[in-house]
Amino acid sequence: MSTVEPRRSEHRTVTRTARILELVSAHPGELRLADLSERLGAPRSSVHVLVRGLVSVGYLVEADGRYSIGYTLGELVRPSEMGLTEMLLPRLEAIRDATGETVTLGLFAGEFVVYTASAPSRHSVRYVPELRTRRPLLPTSIGKLLLATWPEERLRKYLQAHGSGDVEADLATVAVVRADDRAFNRGETLASVTAVARPCHVDGRRIGGVSVGGPSERVLPRLDEIDRTLAEVIGGNVESALAWR
């Protein structure tokens, strides 16, 4: 027991700290301690200890009882994909201009996908993704691209907990994604929206994907054409363009 419980506690602490930063980043200057405690489903006293520590190192700043991300965090914590969104945005816009539909960059965050950038369609009726919010891997097209990299034991366990209820059918779907190196979402998240996604790599590591999505009545008849455009613009040359380190 003495060797297991500390690890669980440490994992929970890391998870809560990460979620605090994510929540404050998504709602700068809005959330109080009570709000964070409620959204985390954690005791206020426990959240207060973590928040106080983040404030002490400058990762959070407090004003009138509400929290924002501190300038220190952006200056000292630099991700390995620093500048990824800025470097890829012209490509997202090029795909948008060629297809006419919304193009989204999604990065993997553990067993979730976070949409970090989007080039919105100029159509009045269009798909508008919510950015910087964790989404489950299924049924997103980008999430399926990550599942396709997992060994079967891990994949099967995940599908048993988070799949459609038919594990064998889900395994077959992921097998097709693995073989084709692309994934579709045909009305699985929103009944009227269809999307196709291709993976994005940096230094040989699959870090996320780029999807093109829109109203099914517009996208489905042009799905192969849209996928070809996506593959051409976001293909293998992206890795070399991003591997600047």
What pLDDT is recorded for position 9?
Answer: 58
Domain identity same for 57 and 123: no
Domain identity same for 188 and 99: yes
CA distance 124 to 154: 41
Task: Say which CATH number the domain at 218 has.
Answer: 3.30.450.40
User: Of 34, 50, 76, at which residue does a domain stop?
Assistant: 76
What pLDDT is recorded for position 127?
Answer: 96
What pLDDT is recorded for position 76?
Answer: 63
pTM, whole model, 2 decimals?
0.72
Domain identity same for 229 and 191: yes
Q: Provide the number of structural domains found in the chain.
A: 2
CA distance 134 to 112: 6
User: Of 76, 105, 124, at which residue does a domain stop?
Assistant: 76
Domain identity same for 176 and 199: yes
Q: Is the pLDDT of residue 7 over 60?
A: no
Residues in a beta bridge with 210: 105, 198
- Identify the band that residue 78 occupies on the pLDDT scale cut at 50, 70 and 90: low
Task: Say which CATH number the domain at 38 has.
Answer: 1.10.10.10
* Amino acid type, 49: V
Domain identity same for 140 and 224: yes
Domain identity same for 136 and 235: yes
What pLDDT is recorded for position 147?
Answer: 97
Summarised one tens digit per residue, pLDDT across range 102-159 is 999 998 888 889 898 899 999 999 999 998 888 899 999 999 999 999 999 999 999 9
Residue 111's domain comprises 84-242
Question: Mean pLDDT throughout 72-94?
Answer: 73
**Residue 189 or 72, more confident:** 189
Answer whether 140's CB lies under 8 Å from 113's CB.
yes
CA distance 107 to 113: 6
What pLDDT is recorded for position 88?
Answer: 86
Summarised one tens digit per residue, pLDDT across range 184-234 is 999 999 999 999 999 998 767 788 999 999 999 999 999 999 999 999 988
Domain identity same for 96 and 24: no
Q: Is the pLDDT of residue 23 over 50?
A: yes
C-alpha to C-alpha distances, 55 to 6, 41, 58, 200, nearest whole angstrom: 24, 21, 5, 35
Nearest to 135 by CA among 200, 211, 70: 211
What pLDDT is recorded for position 136?
Answer: 92
Answer whether 165's CB lies under 8 Å from 139's CB.
no
What pLDDT is recorded for position 159?
Answer: 97
Domain identity same for 225 and 190: yes
Domain identity same for 183 and 209: yes
DSSP conformational letter for 208: E
User: How big is the CA angle at 230 (ends 107 and 203), to the nearest 5 degrees?
Assistant: 45
What pLDDT is recorded for position 243?
Answer: 44
User: Of 76, 107, 135, at which residue does a domain stop?
Assistant: 76
CA distance 220 to 163: 24
Q: Is 105 helix (H, G, I), strand (E, B) or coil?
A: strand
Domain identity same for 205 and 92: yes
Domain identity same for 65 and 121: no
Domain identity same for 71 and 93: no
* Element containing residue 9 per DSSP (H, E): helix 5-26
Helix pair angle (5-26, 44-56), 10° resolution: 70
CA distance 196 to 64: 45
Summarised one tens digit per residue, pLDDT across range 163-189 is 999 999 999 999 999 999 999 999 999
What pLDDT is recorded for position 83?
Answer: 67
Q: Is 120 helix (H, G, I), strand (E, B) or coil?
A: coil
Q: Is the pLDDT of residue 245 over 50?
A: no
